[in-house]
Amino acid sequence: MKFPTLLRCFVLSGAAFVAPPAPAAAPAPKRVALVIDDGPDPRQNAALLAILARERVRVTFSHVGKNVAAHPDLAKAAAAAGHEIINHSYTHPHLKQQTDAEIEKEAADTSAAIKAATGRAPAWFWAPFLEHDARVDTAVRRATGLEHFPFHRHHFIGSLDWEATTTGEKFRALCTTGIVDGTVILLHEWPTVTLANLPAVIAELKKQGAEFVTFSQLQPSR
């Protein structure tokens, strides 16, 4: 049978041509910002940077001013690797218990130390213990022009790596459960549980479609 005849028979039979379904669109990436507090800490800083470099992950390092002043080379190395360095106060106090002048000095001295070490002033403030209020925010803004990073606008996860009872299993579960676009995950430089389990956490987050971003990439407008 010739092709035109075959086609005519197909049409006359009442059969309808159905186009194959379009391929499903790839899911949108979930932006995840890891913030690593309290550094730079010489005990694990180099190892953490090595993991992040190997995994091609950029994070936000929330640095304490006195640690930056003591180890400017570590802060410089983190910035040179493409990580964001933000202001986490100079001595890590409970800022609500401080006077306005003390808060201003904590913020200003830290911004100065970060700029001296990295060549760039920080873009955000991140209060110790995440304890801040309108008075603290006003004092920080007056001294540095910085706003506190608005973590309350995002899905926030505390890894609990600062608690001695947090096991690797608990740490991994906390850091990889309920991930949505715009998630912020709080880690610290010094706990051994963080260093030991960070590669597994990153691998699982990547499997879930995570796109790792810094604070300024997640929240570009201030």
Task: Say yes or no to pLDDT of 60 above 50.
Answer: yes
What would the mean pLDDT of 35-41 be, rounded to a whole number? 98
Query: Rounded CA gap, 111 and 117, in Å?
Result: 10
Q: 67-94, pLDDT tens digit by residue?
A: 999 999 999 999 999 999 999 999 999 9
| Whether the Cβ atoms of residue 189 and residue 9 lie closer than 8 Å to each other | no
Give the model's pLDDT for residue 138.
98
Q: Burial letters for 64-74: b for 16+ Cβ neighbours within 10 Å, e otherwise?
A: bbebbbebbeb
Give the model's pLDDT for residue 29.
85
What token pair was written down for 187?
């880690």
**155 band by pLDDT with thresholds 50, 70 and 90:** very high
